[in-house]
Structure 1
Amino acid sequence: MRILFMSDTHGKHHELQNLPQADMLIHAGDITWGGTVEEVTDFVEWFGSLDYKYKIFIGGNHDFCLEEKETETIQRFLPKNCFYLCNSGVTIENIKIWGIPFFLSDDINGFLPQQIAEIPFNTDILITHNPPLGILDKSTLGANMGDEDLQQRVKKNKPQYHLFGHIHECYGLQKATSTTFINGSVLDENYNLVNEPIVLDL
C-alpha cells in the first residue's frame, strides 16, 4: 500500500500541483485557516475529487467548525472512498487506521488524555494533529510542543507509522525501533507552501 501524507494546508490546498500517485491519501488536519464552513466545504470538494483509491482526513486546531459536528454528519457529505476520523478508526485492506483531531475545546476541557487512552493497541497507522512530546515537535523558540500522554501511548501501542503535523517548522521523518514518525506539515512557520507531501509504503 503506497500512502501520500500531508498536513497543515491551511486553505492552500489548491496550490498543491502534480501530486504523486499513491493508493491512499492522508491529511492530518488544519485543512483551513479560519475554521469556517465555507473553507471546510471547499477543502472537502477538492479532497473528494482527487484520484486516490482511499482518502482520510482529521481536524486540527484551526478547524473550529468541525468541533461541533458529529463524525457521521461530516461523513454523509463525503464520497464512499473518503473517511473523516474523529477519535475513530477505519480498516482498509487489513490496515487499521485511527485518527485523533486536536480541538482546542477538548484540550481546555481535559478530554485529550482519555481520547489518547482509547487508541487501540492493534493500530497500524495512527493519525493525530499534534505530535508526541520530543519528536518533531520543537518550535522556533526551542520549546517541545508535543503531548506527553501521546508519547507514552505510542510507546506502548507501537503503531508502524505515527503521522501528524501542527509544528510547521519540524517537517520531516524520524524512525524509532517500532514506529516511524512523520511530521507532514507542507507549510513552514511563516505559512509558505515549501514542503512536499511525503510518500510512504506499508
Structure 2
Amino acid sequence: MPPGEQPNKPLPPPRQVKLPHHHLRSLASDLQSLHRTPLQPRAPTKPIDVVCISDTHGTRPLIPPGDLLLHAGDLTQWGTFAEIQAQLAWLSAQPHTHKVVIAGNHDLLLDSDFRTQHPDRWHEAIKAARSTEEEVVAEEKSEQDLDWAGVVYLRNTSTTLTFWDRTLTIYGSPLTPQHGLSAHQHPKDQDVWSYAVPPNTDILLTHGPPWGHLDGFKKSGCPFLTREVVRSRPRLVVFGHIHVGYGSEERVFDTVGRAHEGIVGGWASWGALPQWWQLWRGAE
C-alpha cells in the first residue's frame, strides 16, 4: 500500500449528469407508462401475413412464408450490379404474393447522384466486390439493366397492393442521416421528412429507424422521421439499418402518445402535459 493511503477508503458517489429538460422527459415517460389505450375491436376479415427483413448484405436466409414480403434495404455489401441482381433473383423466387424492397446506404448502384459525386467510392466498391468473372463483366451495367422480376422497388414513392377484399398502400424511402460516406444519406440537421408520407399510407418502409425507436444504444435514428411517423400514423413502420436494434414494438399515437413523442423528441414543451389531463377527464 502506498505511504499515506488509507485502507477501505470509500469511493466518491457517481456523478449524475442531467440533460436539459430531463424533469419534463422523465415525467412524460412516467405518464406514458401509466397510460392504457383501450383495445379496438378487430374487423372479422382474413389477416395479411407480413414478413419483414432487412440488411441481408448479400446473404440469403430462410424466409418464413406469408402474403407480403418487405425488405428494408441494404440488400448488398458493396452495392454493385451483380450483387443487387443476385438478391433480386433470390427475392423474386420467394412464394409471397407481393414483394416490396427499398435500397439502403450500402446499395450504391441505386443512387446515381452519389456515384456521380463520389466516383472514387464507387470504384473502391467495385474493386472490393471483384471476386468473380460475373462481377467484372457487370461493372459497366447500370440500374436500368436490373431485372426486378416482379419485385416492387420504391424510392420515395408509393404502391398500392391488393389482398383479397382490401388494399394496402406502402410508402418506401431509403433516406438515412449522414454517417460516413454512403448512399441515400442526408445531413443530420436537414428535414427531409415533413409531410413526405402521403395520406392514408398503411405501411411506411424506411431503411433507417425513427429516433428513439429500436435505433440502438447511441440513438442513431432520425428525429424528423419520428415526427413524421407521429403525424402520418401508418399502421406499420418497417426499418433496419441499426443491426443491434432488431426487434419490434407497439406504439399508439393518441393524445398521450403524440405528446410523449414530442416531449422526448424535443419538439414539444411543458405545454403538452395538459393533454394528459384532458384525456383522463374524457376529452379523448
TM range (shorter): 0.7 to 0.9
For the pair 1:156 / 2:227, whether they are aligned, the reply is no
Q: What is the root-mean-square deviation in Å for CA atoms of aligned residues?
A: 2.4
Distance 1:116 1:54, change over 3 A: farther
**What SS is found at the alignment partner of 2:226?**
helix
For the pair 1:28 / 2:72, whether they are aligned, the reply is yes
**What SS is found at the alignment partner of 1:33?**
coil
Deviation at 1:59, TM superposition (A): 0.3
The answer to whether the Cα contact below 8 Å between 1:106 and 1:112 also exists between their aligned partners in 2 is: no
Question: Normalising by structure 1, what TM-score?
Answer: 0.76
Equivalent position amino acid for 1:96 in 2: T
Which whole-Å CA distance do the structure 2 matches of 1:108 and 1:135 have between them? Answer: 19
User: What are the superposed Cα offsets for residues 54-95 of structure 1, whole Å, 9 maximum, x if unpaired?
Assistant: 0000000111111129xxx65972224x20000001001221
Distance 1:134 1:115, change over 3 A: closer
Distance 1:178 1:117, change over 3 A: same
**What SS is found at the alignment partner of 2:204?**
strand
Equivalent position amino acid for 1:145 in 2: S
Q: Which residue of 1 aligns with 2:18?
A: none
For the pair 1:5 / 2:83, whether they are aligned, the reply is no
* Higher RCO, 1 vs 2 (CA within 8 Å, ≥6 residues apart): 1
Q: Which residue of 1 aligns with 2:154?
A: 85
Q: Which residue of 1 aligns with 2:133?
A: none
User: What are the superposed Cα offsets for residues 159-189 of structure 1, whole Å, 9 maximum, x if unpaired?
Assistant: 000000011111101111149xxxxxxxxxx
Equivalent position amino acid for 1:41 in 2: Q
For the pair 1:123 / 2:201, whether they are aligned, the reply is yes
Gaps of 5+ in 2: 1-47, 114-142, 177-181, 255-284
- The structure number with the bigger radius of gyration is 2
The answer to whether the Cα contact below 8 Å between 1:28 and 1:129 also exists between their aligned partners in 2 is: yes
Equivalent position amino acid for 2:57 in 1: H
For the pair 1:99 / 2:172, whether they are aligned, the reply is yes
For the pair 1:147 / 2:222, whether they are aligned, the reply is yes
Counterpart pick for 1:52 among 83, 89, 96: 96
Equivalent position amino acid for 1:147 in 2: C
Distance 1:133 1:74, change over 3 A: farther
The answer to whether the Cα contact below 8 Å between 1:9 and 1:31 also exists between their aligned partners in 2 is: yes
The answer to whether the Cα contact below 8 Å between 2:193 and 2:224 also exists between their aligned partners in 1 is: no
**What SS is found at the alignment partner of 1:97?**
strand
Which whole-Å CA distance do the structure 2 matches of 1:118 and 1:152 have between them? Answer: 11
Deviation at 1:24, TM superposition (A): 1.0
The answer to whether the Cα contact below 8 Å between 1:75 and 1:84 also exists between their aligned partners in 2 is: no
User: Which one has the bigger helix percentage?
Assistant: 2
Gaps of 5+ in 1: 180-202
User: What are the superposed Cα offsets for residues 108-161 of structure 1, whole Å, 9 maximum, x if unpaired?
Assistant: 4689733553211211000000000000002xxx31000011000000110000
User: Which one has the bigger strand percentage?
Assistant: 1
Equivalent position amino acid for 1:51 in 2: P
Which whole-Å CA distance do the structure 2 matches of 1:22 and 1:33 have between them? Answer: 26
Q: Which residue of 1 aligns with 2:81?
A: 37
Equivalent position amino acid for 2:53 in 1: M
Deviation at 1:20, TM superposition (A): 1.9
The answer to whether the Cα contact below 8 Å between 2:105 and 2:185 also exists between their aligned partners in 1 is: no
